[in-house]
Structure 1
Amino acid sequence: MARMKFICDSERCIECNGCVTACKAEHDVPWGVNRRRVVTLNDGMPGEKSISVACMHCSDAPCMAVCPVDCFYRTDEGVVLHDKDVCIGCGYCSYACPFGAPQFPSNGTFGLRGKMDKCTFCAGGPEANGSQAEFEKYGRNRLAEGKLPACAEMCSTKALLGGDGDVVADIFRTRVLTRNSGSEVWGWGTAYGKPSQGGATPAPAKPEGSKP
Structure 2
Amino acid sequence: MARMKFICDTERCIECNGCVTACKNDNEVPWGVNRRRVVTVNDGIIGKEKSISVACMHCSDAPCMAVCPVDCFYRTDEGVVLHDKDICIGCGYCSFACPFGAPQFLSSGAFGVRSKMDKCTFCSGGPEANGSVAEFEKYGRNRLAEGKLPLCAEMCSTKALIGGDGEVISSIYAKRVSVREANGKYPSKEVFGWSTAYGPMDAPAPKPTPAAKIPGAKS
Shorter-normalised TM range: 0.7 to 0.9
Deviations 1:33-52 (A, max 9, x none): 00000000100013100000
Helix, strand or coil at the partner of 1:69 = coil
Q: How does 1:91-102 map to 2 (within 5 A)?
A: 91-102=92-103
State the alpha-carbon separation in 1 of the partners of residues 110 and 74 from structure 2.
32
State the alpha-carbon separation in 2 of the partners of residues 110 and 30 from structure 1.
17
Q: How does 1:62-211 map to 2 (within 5 A)?
A: 62-182=63-183
Helix, strand or coil at the partner of 2:30 = coil
Partner of 2:193: none
Helix, strand or coil at the partner of 1:178 = helix
Q: TM-score, normalised by structure 1?
A: 0.85
State the alpha-carbon separation in 1 of the partners of residues 62 and 78 from structure 2.
14
> Paired residues, what number?
183
State the alpha-carbon separation in 1 of the partners of residues 66 and 143 from structure 2.
27
Q: Which amino acid aligns with 1:129?
A: N
State the alpha-carbon separation in 2 of the partners of residues 127 and 92 from structure 1.
24
Structure showing greater relative contact order (alpha-carbon pairs closer than 8 Å, 6 or more residues apart): 2
Q: Which amino acid aligns with 1:91?
A: G
Partner of 2:27: 27
Larger Rg: 1
Partner of 2:12: 12
Helix, strand or coil at the partner of 2:117 = coil
Q: Which amino acid aligns with 2:26?
A: E
Deviation at 1:182, TM superposition (A): 4.5
State the alpha-carbon separation in 2 of the partners of residues 29 and 181 from structure 1.
42
State the alpha-carbon separation in 1 of the partners of residues 101 and 16 from structure 2.
20
Identical-pair percentage: 82
State the alpha-carbon separation in 2 of the partners of residues 176 and 137 from structure 1.
39
Deviations 1:2-44 (A, max 9, x none): 0000000000000000000000011000000000000001000
Structure 2 unaligned segments of length 5 or more: list them.
185-219
Partner of 2:206: none
Q: TM-score, normalised by structure 2?
A: 0.82
Helix, strand or coil at the partner of 2:24 = helix
Partner of 1:190: none
Helix, strand or coil at the partner of 1:44 = coil
Helix, strand or coil at the partner of 1:122 = coil
Q: Which amino acid aligns with 1:13?
A: C
Deviation at 1:181, TM superposition (A): 4.4
Partner of 1:186: none
Helix, strand or coil at the partner of 2:5 = strand
Structure 1 unaligned segments of length 5 or more: list them.
184-212
State the alpha-carbon separation in 2 of the partners of residues 173 and 79 from structure 1.
23
